[in-house]
A = this chain, B = another copy of it.
Amino acid sequence: MTDERAASVLDVAHRARTAAADLAILARAQKDAALLAMADALVARTAQITAANDEDVARARENGTSEAIIDRLRLDEKRIAAMADGMRQVAELPDPVGEVVRGYTLPNGIEISQRRVPLGVVGIIYEARPNVTADAAALALKSGNAVLLRGSSSAASSNAAIVDVLRSATESGDVPADAVQLVPGEGHEPAKHLMRARGLVDILIPRGGAGLIRSVVEESTVPVIETGVGDCHVYVDAAADLDKALDIVVNAKTHRPSVCNAAETLLVHADVADAFVPRALSALRDAGVTVHGDDRVRAHDASVIPASDEDWQAEYLSLDIAAGIVDSLDEAVAHIRRWGSGHTEAIVTDSLSAATRFTSTTDSAAVMVNASTRFTDGEQFGFGAEIGISTQKLHARGPMGLPELTTTTYVVTGDGHIRA
Q: Name A residues whose Cβ lies closer than 8 Å to a Cβ of B.
A: 21, 24-25, 104, 106, 110, 112, 114, 117, 119-120, 198, 202-203, 217-218, 221, 223-225, 241, 243-244, 247-248, 251-252, 255, 337, 355, 359-361, 363-372, 374-376, 380-382, 392-395, 397-399, 407-419
In the complex formed, the residue of B with least CB distance to A117 is B363
CB-CB under 8 A from A367, the residues of chain B are 409-412
Whether B416 pairs with A370 at a CB distance below 8 angstroms is yes
Known contacts A371-B412, A412-B371, A419-B255: A106-B223 contact under CB 8 Å: no
Known contacts A217-B198, A419-B374: A394-B395 contact under CB 8 Å: yes
A224 CA to B31 CA, complexed, in Å: 32
Known contacts A372-B417, A408-B398: A24-B361 contact under CB 8 Å: yes
A409 CA to B369 CA, complexed, in Å: 13
In the complex formed, the residue of B with least CB distance to A413 is B369
Whether B241 pairs with A372 at a CB distance below 8 angstroms is no
A413 CA to B354 CA, complexed, in Å: 13
Whether B381 pairs with A112 at a CB distance below 8 angstroms is yes
A409 CA to B342 CA, complexed, in Å: 10
Q: What number of copies of this chain does the assembly contain? A: 2
Known contacts A393-B202, A419-B255: A110-B371 contact under CB 8 Å: yes
Measured CB to CB, the closest approach of chain B to A407, in angstroms, equals 4
Known contacts A203-B393, A394-B395: A364-B418 contact under CB 8 Å: no
In the complex formed, the residue of B with least CB distance to A247 is B418
CB-CB under 8 A from A418, the residues of chain B are 247-248, 251-252, 255, 371-372, 374
Interface centre among A24, A372, A412, A416 (most CB of B within 10 A): A412
3 residue pairs, one from A and one from B, having the closest CB atoms: A371-B414, A244-B416, A251-B418
Whether A394 pairs with B255 at a CB distance below 8 angstroms is no
A25 CA to B409 CA, complexed, in Å: 32
Other than the given A21-B337, A203-B393, 12 more pairs (CB < 8 A) read A114-B398, A218-B221, A247-B418, A251-B418, A355-B413, A359-B409, A363-B409, A367-B412, A368-B413, A368-B414, A372-B414, A398-B410
